[in-house]
Amino acid sequence: MTVRLTQASAPLMHSIDVRDEFGATRRIAIPAERALTVFVDKRELVTLMTLGAAPELLVLGYLRNQRLVERADDIDSITVDWDVQAAAVTTRAGIERFDEKTAKRVVTTGCGQGTVFGDLMDDLDRIALPPAYGPPVQSVAPPPAGDVVATGEYLARIGHCMDCHTPRTTDGRLLMEQLGAGGMQFPGPWGVSVARNLTPHDSGLKGWSDAEIARAIRTGVGRDGSTLKPPMGFAYYRNIGDADMAALVAYLRSLKPQPFAGRN
Ligand code: HEC
């Protein structure tokens, strides 16, 4: 199920006129701070202060963080209207024990995101930690100078590429023999995205040029020009330099070709 969201993204900066130390009037840009009052099924919950870049996702994340909703699927729509500085949330089936959950609140700062509702810490102990992979890492050796593939592997580790692009065992470990084969599903407000096959296989990056791979990683534009979805962190990879990108691509091309998700 998909949450219906308005796209009320607002500019992060706005211009004001100031008088500088020489008495001259200058126009400068400052970050915007907008108030957004959240209504859940028509009932007022809290006022969040935000820059306004992604107000719908802010509200969704807030409700989830506060354990007021279990899953994004519990929400039908979030409608943000800056004219009235409000976000109207419609749930699919109401929020269980809403009064009880919101009766107790701790206000840690004046800003709405500092408001913490009663139940927040209740299920903290039940959050399972990922399996341990071995003893703590003491140090990581740099890749051997001049070894392009090893450098690419090193960068792929820092970039967590294979954590998303490799199938896992039922207890959450990476299936190293299917490294890079893709298939992991990521549900979210964007629908469901599926990690692609990064190995040099027909269902992976085999026919891609280096430039096409670099464009996908840096800008989230697919080979056919389509827009790739989150949670791949295109914005974080945008500034990967040319030498590092060449190493990453060389590493991806060195992977063992695998059918998509390791399935034949
Ligand atoms: C948080 C998970 C995640 C991480 C980390 C991640 N990716 Fe992705 N990647 C995805 C998903 C999901 C898609 C598919 C998006 C879609 O379907 O629109 C994708 C798509 C791609 C594509 C496009 C392939 C195609 O067939 O269109 C490339 C190339 C890629 N990733 C490479 C990388 C590299 C290299 C790294 C590390 C620098 C990386 N990814 C890190 C989740 C991730």
Structure token pair of residue 164: 């998303």
Q: Which has the higher per-residue pLDDT, 174 or 137?
A: 174
Report d(CA 100, CA 104) in Å as an integer: 8
CA angle 223, 226, 230 (to 5 degrees): 105
Q: Which atom of ligand 1 is nearest to the CA of 163?
A: 5
Portion of the chain with pLDDT greater than 90, in percent: 64
**Which of 163, 193, 196 best tests ligand 1's pocket when mutated (most atoms within 8 Å of CB)?**
196
151, 154, 157, 165, best to mutate for ligand 1 pocket (most atoms within 8 Å of CB)? 165
In the reported structure, the alpha carbon of residue 5 is separated from the centroid of ligand 1 by a whole-number distance in angstroms of 24
pLDDT in tens, 49-87: 898 989 999 999 999 888 889 888 999 999 999 999 999
Q: Cβ(248) to ligand 1 under 6 A?
A: yes
Q: Which domains, from first to last, does the chain contain?
A: 4-18+28-120 (no CATH), 148-262 (1.10.760)
Q: Would you call the peptide bond into 142 cis, given omega within 30 degrees of 0 as the criterion?
A: no
Q: Is 235 exposed, middle or buried (0-12, 13-18, 19+ CB in 10 A)?
A: exposed
> For 174, which DSSP code?
B
Helix, coil or strand: residue 196: coil
Mean pLDDT of 128-146: 84
Pocket test for ligand 1, best of 151, 164, 184, 212 (most atoms within 8 A of CB): 164
Q: Please provide the average confidence, as pLDDT, over all residues in the chain.
A: 90
The string of pLDDT tens digits covering residues 3-48 is: 999 999 998 888 899 998 999 999 988 998 999 999 999 999 999 9
At 65 the pLDDT is: 85
Give whole-number Cα distances, 247 to 152, 160, 191, 252, in Å.
Answer: 4, 15, 32, 9
116 against 62, higher pLDDT: 62
Measured in Å, residue 176 CA sits from the centre of ligand 1 at 17
For position 118, what pLDDT does the model report? 65
